[in-house]
Amino acid sequence: MAFAVHVNMERCTGCNNCVVACPVNALELSTINPATTDKIYKVINGDAVILDVNHELCAGCGICVDACPYDVIQLSGQPPQKAFV
Q: What number is the average pLDDT over the span 57-82?
A: 84
30-42 in b/e burial notation, b at 16+ Cβ within 10 A?
bbeeeeeeeebee
- In the chain, the domains with their CATH numbers are 3-77 (3.30.70.20)
pLDDT of res. 21: 96
Q: Coil, strand or helix: which one is 20?
A: helix
Continuous H helices in the chain: 17-21, 63-67
User: pTM (2 decimals)?
Assistant: 0.70
Q: Coil, strand or helix: which one is 37?
A: coil
Does the pLDDT of residue 41 top 50, yes or no? no
| Tens of pLDDT, residues 45-63 | 666 567 888 889 999 999 9
The lowest-confidence range among 10-14, 20-24, 26-30, 71-75 is: 10-14
State how far the Cα of 69 lies from the Cα of 18, in Å rounded to an integer.
9
